[in-house]
């Protein structure tokens, strides 16, 4: 009994614990990430930037919507509109007054390029490039393009019938298109160029000696497209 007690009083630590096995890290692997994580991070960063820029553009557009600018054709004078069948030649003389109203209180508009074209039955017969200008806020600007000359126009059977019908009543359906390049200014900040297209569908009476042959021209509001 005494012999057994001597063993119980002695310190006993059990078998020795072996040291942990060494671990090795290979370049590019780390904790299972590496190139894949870098690509994911870059994609997330690009996505975040795109969202932020998109929201900023949307906010700017909603606050300073350029479609609030109004375009009206307020007057027209068509003194010549003759088509010669054997040469397919259209002789024309058309003058217009176009009012541009900027109702915004804080922004101005740079009209860097203004291309005005006129069409009959989708055939372009005249183009004028107007002088660029800056339009301040709450301002109305009047453009007065004049289209005069001679142009080769190919009218098919249907188009020729339409021309003769309109000629008989002295009123022509003419389309006016303004192709613009504009920049919006807010304080010292200027936006990139925007390219709106202004569409004006007119009913234009022929004039003779300053008098309309068939009624008077009615002010027409134009549409804005992009």
* DSSP state letters, 184-222: EEETTEEPPPB--EEEEEEEEEBEETTEESSS-PPPEE-
Give, as one character, the DSSP assignment of residue 153: -
Residues in the chain predicted with pLDDT less than 70, given as ranges, are 1-36, 53-67, 209-213
Query: Quick check: 140 and 160 in contact, CB under 8 A?
Result: no
Residue 170, classed as helix, strand or coil, is: coil
Per-residue pLDDT at 26: 47
Task: Please report which helix (H) or strand (E) contains residue 109, including its range.
Answer: strand 107-120
Of how many residues is the chain composed? 226
Task: Give the separation between CA 218 and CA 15, rounded to whole angstroms.
Answer: 108
Question: Would you call 137 helix, strand, or coil by DSSP?
Answer: coil
Name every residue whose Cβ is closer than 8 Å to that of residue 93 and which is 6 or more positions away in sequence. Answer: 78, 79, 80, 81, 146, 147, 148
Check if the beta carbon of residue 125 is closer than 8 Å to that of residue 88. Answer: no
pLDDT of residue 146: 98
Q: 161, 160, 201, 154: which is closest to 177 by C-alpha? A: 201
Tokens representing 49? 């930037």
CB 176 within 8 A of CB 200: yes
Q: Are 143 and 119 in contact (CB under 8 A)?
A: no
| Core vs surface per residue 193-219: b (16+ CB within 10 A) or e | eeebebebebebbbbeeeebeeeebee
């Amino acid at each position: 009994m005494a012999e057994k007690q001597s063993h119980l009083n002695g310190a006993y630590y059990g078998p020795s614990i072996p040291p942990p096995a060494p671990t090795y890290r290979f370049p590019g692997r780390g904790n299972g990430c590496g190139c894949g994580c870098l690509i994911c991070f870059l994609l997330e960063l690009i996505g975040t930037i795109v969202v932020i820029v998109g929201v900023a553009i949307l906010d700017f557009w909603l606050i300073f919507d350029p479609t609030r600018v109004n375009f009206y054709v307020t007057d027209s004078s068509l003194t010549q509109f003759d088509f010669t069948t054997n040469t397919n030649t259209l002789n024309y003389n058309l003058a217009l007054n176009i009012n541009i109203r900027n109702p915004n209180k804080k922004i101005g508009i740079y009209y860097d390029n203004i291309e005005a074209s006129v069409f009959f039955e989708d055939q372009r017969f005249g183009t004028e490039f107007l002088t660029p200008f800056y339009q301040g806020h709450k301002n109305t600007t009047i453009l007065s393009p004049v289209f005069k000359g001679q142009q080769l126009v190919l009218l098919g059977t249907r188009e020729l019938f339409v021309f003769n019908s309109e000629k008989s009543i002295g009123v022509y359906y003419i389309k006016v298109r303004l192709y613009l390049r504009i920049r919006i200014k807010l304080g010292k900040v200027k936006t990139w160029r925007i390219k709106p297209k202004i569409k004006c569908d007119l009913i234009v009476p022929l004039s003779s000696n300053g008098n309309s042959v068939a009624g008077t021209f009615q002010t027409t509001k134009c549409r804005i497209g992009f």
